[in-house]
A and B are shown apart, each in its own frame.
Chain A
Amino acid sequence: MPQTLTRPAFDEYRKSRTVQAMSAEVKRYAGDTDRMTVDDGLASWTDGVATSTTSRPTAPQVGPKPDGMHLWIVSADDVVHAAETCEFGAGREFGKIKHSNLTGGADAFSGGELVFIDDQTLVLNGCSGRYRIRSEAEMSALASAFRRSGYRVWSMGWSTDTDRPAMFGLQDPEWVAS
């Protein structure tokens, strides 16, 4: 699957940033660092085709826990994602996958959640307790990277009040123009 757009887009994000270990603060569950494989539903991010800058559509409303939500991780050499609710997760203590199932507990740049509106449009956030986004600039760079990988992207954005990524369902997402 092509990564012609994806690779440079995320390399740009990785530039001047470092990987981080999984947060020590998170609640741990048995099996939460068991590594998923392609057979378990893990997928690498691949290029989309929606590269034109069409006019801004109406903002979608995403609930706090949308159906079909995926977790995503930017690692040193890949961008991976998988459905949160899946057979692999159901077989672990938590009942769903954690971001650390995408990394096997290894270091990564950042993680978050996304939901597809259609096959070329997605809404994402930067919510991962295990691989936390560290600043508004990092959140913005990630949203841009997903956009430049060939998708129409809505980002939940950043809360300057809490200095944390905004969550699904609590506010409307922001259109990522470039």
Chain B
Amino acid sequence: MTGALTEALLAKVFGEASQGDTLESRARTSPREFVRGQNMLAEASPAAKGRRLSAFEALRIFGFEVLRTAVEDGQAAIVADRTEPARTLKGRREELGLSIASLARLAGLKTSEVTLAETAGKVSPVRSLERLAPWLAIDERYLGYNVAESRDPALGVRFRRLANAEVGGGLSPTAVLKLAEAAWIIARHGVLARELGDELNRARASFRPDANYNYPTYQVGYRLAERTRKLLDIDSAVPIKNLRRLIEDRLKIPLVETELGPSLAGATIANGAHRGIVVNIEGKNENVWIRRMTLAHELGHLLWDPSQKLESLMVDRYDEIEGPTDLPTDPVETRANAFAIALLAPPGEVERIVRDAGDPSAAIAQVSDQFGVSITASRRHIQNVCGLERIQLPKPAITPSDDWKAQEDYTNDFFPLSQTPVARRGRFAWTVVTAWQHHLISLDTAATLLASDPATTSANAQHVLQLTGP
């Protein structure tokens, strides 16, 4: 303990019952909670309606001197002046090209409440501000307090460019908001996991990005798929039964399942130092085999694309992954597609199946069922691997078995917190509840992150853990 941090001072700030020799240990054992409003932090009291923070999370966000001021003076300022957080909120919304009405609709607020939040000098309940922040990919912890920490400017620029893109029709306001929420989840998930001692994306370090997109690009994708299986010690003949678990548990990559409408398949997002995968649960991805292709495609981008290709936001449409035409012309997408199909259905095994089956049409069904890929992807793969043309699709058409659905399906339908948005119901929910149980965040924070209330969150904590845990 440094000279200035006397036992008396630590006891004053963290309470007599706190223990330990360091600020962190005192904070983690502190029974004291703090409460934040739009522009001030104070020691929590029963009448305070703002966001309650555990001593540990308050320390992490604001630092010891702010906590000390809050205790000694009764309150501490957490914004520099009257312009924040209005300026950050308005600037970010405009950066993403969103109207007040679109933002208000998804955040569940009135347009007048959004306008108030964006007006310098006016005060909004901090809970309203926290409802806005995720949809703008703003880290609500630093909102108004540390503008640089609160949002990733590169992500905002990329959103704006994609939203206004002429090619591909741009992005709808709803898609922008959902992707921004996903970016927020990925970053918050990464921070909470790190504080739990689990560094997400660590396993990606074994995968050195490969800048080779040379013709024939699909062969580069095949090679990278083979290397991926080797690095993960997965035999080339073995189907990957649960790609979600491979991504979340082995590779420790945040995965967000959300509703992105009928045309977007998935995306990779970097929010600050945090990267993750987003997969649409609407449209063609309702078929688990197609969803696996989307996941594998995004994984290909994330594992192997160099950072200059892997922009802060890469969005893939269904017609690029599972379209009626042949492979896309963009070599980055061609390689990711080849990687995806070869990771799920290794070419050597596909050749063997075709050879053994004798009938390419029957082989399509067998490859689909054995490796969990759609019949259109399976047919194209066989055509490419075996150099065949015009193979008839099997009749009757086969669809994923219940086993495939059960192995790969998501947990949304059984999630016990009904108010929690779909995107927050995966491993993120497990991480949030675990962080609360380890006293890293308050129950109020956990409930807020899951868009629920403290009593419901607490009552269903075990169920959430069972449903979403590794």
Contacts and interface: CB of A to CB of B under 8 A. Distances in A.
Interface of A: 23, 25-27, 59, 61, 63-64, 127-129, 132, 135, 159-167, 169-172
Contacts of A64: 77, 81
A170 B82 contact: yes
10 contacts: A25-B72, A127-B75, A159-B42, A159-B123, A160-B48, A163-B45, A166-B123, A169-B81, A170-B40, A171-B122
B224 interface: no
Contacts of B72: 25-27, 129
Given A129-B74, A159-B42, 20 more contacts: A26-B72, A26-B73, A64-B81, A127-B73, A127-B75, A129-B73, A132-B74, A159-B37, A161-B40, A161-B48, A161-B125, A161-B126, A162-B37, A162-B40, A162-B42, A163-B42, A163-B49, A166-B39, A169-B77, A172-B121
The 9 closest A-B pairs by CB, nearest first: A161-B37, A161-B50, A172-B121, A129-B73, A163-B48, A170-B39, A162-B42, A164-B75, A163-B47
A164 B74 CA distance: 7
Nearest to A160: B49
A148 B74 CA distance: 27
B79 interface: yes
A147 B12 CA distance: 37
Nearest to A157: B123
Mostly, the B contact residues are loop
A63 B75 CA distance: 17
Contacts of A171: 38-39, 82, 121-123
A167 B122 contact: no
B195 to A, nearest CB: 25
A160 B126 CA distance: 10
Contacts of B188: none
A170 B42 contact: no
B35 interface: yes
B178 interface: no
B353 interface: no
